[in-house]
Structure 1
Amino acid sequence: MSHQITIKPSGHVFSAEPGETVLQAALREGFPLPYGCRNGACGTCKGKIIQGTVDFGSHNEETLTEMEKKAGMALFCCALPLSELVIECREIGEIKDIHVKTLPCRVHKLERVAPNVMVISLKLPANERLQFLAGQYIDVFMKNGKRRSFSLANAPHDDELLQLHVRHYLGGTFAEHVFTRMKERDILRFEGPLGTFFLREDSDKPIIFVASGTGFAPVKSILEHAFHVRDLRGGERQMVLYWGNRTKTDLYLADLVGSWQQKYDNFTFIPVLSEALPADNWSGRTGLVHQAVLEDFNDLAGYQVYACGTPAMVEAAHRDFTTLRRLPEDEFFSDAFTVSPSEPKS
């Protein structure tokens, strides 16, 4: 039995078929709700059930607590309607015209840019292009039928090759394949673009980007898009990137980011190392990357923040920026590289 769902405050109405989550039904009917991981881990799709009941589904207990459930909150990527619903959440208008596709691609280039980071360049068939927003991601299909999510690291205007940043970690099936067996000219299939982490261009507020590890990938896409727009149209929107890693070698494209800082006077780069080695001869910032932001800004009321990387970093940044530095809740945008039943996003 299908169930009618009404979105507040927009008043949009759609129906969920049996077995469909609120998010699946909304996206199918063209109502783009915020989402990220789609497995109940990141919390991007969290919203309020004003009326009706749901099966909350399988999710991370820390992302949606029992107290939040009692207060009417739900993760729409997991919530299955059990009755007609009235929900409260914001809609993302910018992705309405972006069509999700399933496409083949060929591994064009493999470049090991750090001991544990591989940059993969993918080439689409000659008659295909992927329309996407800077910051979105794709799901690569593995041979066992599972999916592996990767943020697109290239900007939309530079779409001849799609770029992924893959981190090698213990127990990662796909990552192990990338670092030991993947070859140029291998064929992959993927679905995308996905996600609602992208630059909000209807604002002129200064931006703080906070990235950890390969969370730099979607930030790179967003920044290159922003620089491209500036070159075309002008504009001086101030942007600063705090990029946190353990050691200096983990800053795998620091020279590229440094070149942006030299070229664009509205951009600042602040690398932060948490476990700098003696051999690094590091004289820069140390500690946790979001703490560096707290040290530099006493008030974030007039800013936008885009945070991408480990869930711990994203959660800490959201908590501390909104409670300690007055960042408006709706000016914090994030993509947490969450651990799912398959593998984490890179």
Structure 2
Amino acid sequence: MKKLKLLKFDIIHPAEYLSEKKKEWGDVDKISLAEYRNRLISLRSNYSDFYTYHLNQQGDWEAEEFFLLDDDFIEKAGKEVLGKSYYYKRFLYGRGRTKLNFQKRKWRNYVVHNYIKHFKPDVIFARSQPIPSAFWRRYRKDTLLVARLSARLPYSWHPNDWDLIYTDQPDFKTFFELHGVETILNDQGFDCRINEELRAGGSNEDVVFVGGLGTENFLKRTLFFNEVAQHIQSFRWWGYWWKYGGDGRRIQDFPMLEKCFQGATSGLEMLQIYKDSFAVVNDYVDTANSIGFNQRIFEVMGVGGFLVTRDAPNFREHFPEDVFVTYKDLVDLQQKLDYYKSNPGERLKITNNAKAYIKENYDYERICHYFSKDLKKSLRAKN
């Protein structure tokens, strides 16, 4: 029986993290596209191969990752699919290795187009990507176009360009369905293979946050963590500062946040921080409308970290009470942290419950079982 083919477009996030990793590797120019893809996957950044691996394990799929926003990946993919015409096309579409954004986008889109022609996917799954949705529309005749949206709508993106949309935000589902597009609520998850790749480690006293701050989509969260940095001495954070839009304030305008900043991290390194820290504090982006379903929740619980997350109205319906701790404001957060420092046995019980709960309910093996069924159903309906 012929396998169904899925090509997933994704990114390594944040970009600063990948830049540092490539400096450490030093041999990116010498390895093949397949070797480089596997190396990017092994970082476990963002969504890694959590969808494609488990689809491939089912036996009736051939699924592959394509990493956008990485010039080295684009170059290797271009050489593979263009063959002898690569250097001519590279000059024609990209004008050498120019850094002009317009030429870079033109070249990237040309490589993506040719890679799609080469791979011949039944499904294009654009999970996280910077290309306007109208670009993908040309493949809709022969391919099921699937998107996944969580935090916010991307620039130049429209729901009617897709056959099927996944989201973990109920408001998005309502909005997309009003446009007549089939939309499925799709949980965030955790790949339990990760726990075999982390060090045993040991707990430290740090109270940590990993993620984006800034004054556009993260304003409320930024102001809150600025207060946390002022009042909790053991607070540390990793991530990135959102530089676009907002009111123009920089990280330097928040001296305590700047002082606590530890740099960019992602993937296994980030998950190790979650596992080793006393507590991981979670808050939501402004567009989440106070709904608690961000990826961080599942990652922290999945590695057996101690999650302390802002209370949200959906928790009672979706989670048991003994897998994380909630807070309402800074004072409540401080009180909860002090309590669990004095009661380490209760903290350990919560982290053990969390790890077991995620393995039972939110492992990507389980998520991809339903994902595969949805795709096959949509393919049958389209054909």
| Structure with the larger helix share | 2
With the length of structure 1 as denominator, give the TM-score of the two structures: 0.26
Task: Decide which structure has greater strand share.
Answer: 1
The two structures have a TM-score, normalised by structure 2, of: 0.24
Structure ID, larger Rg:
2
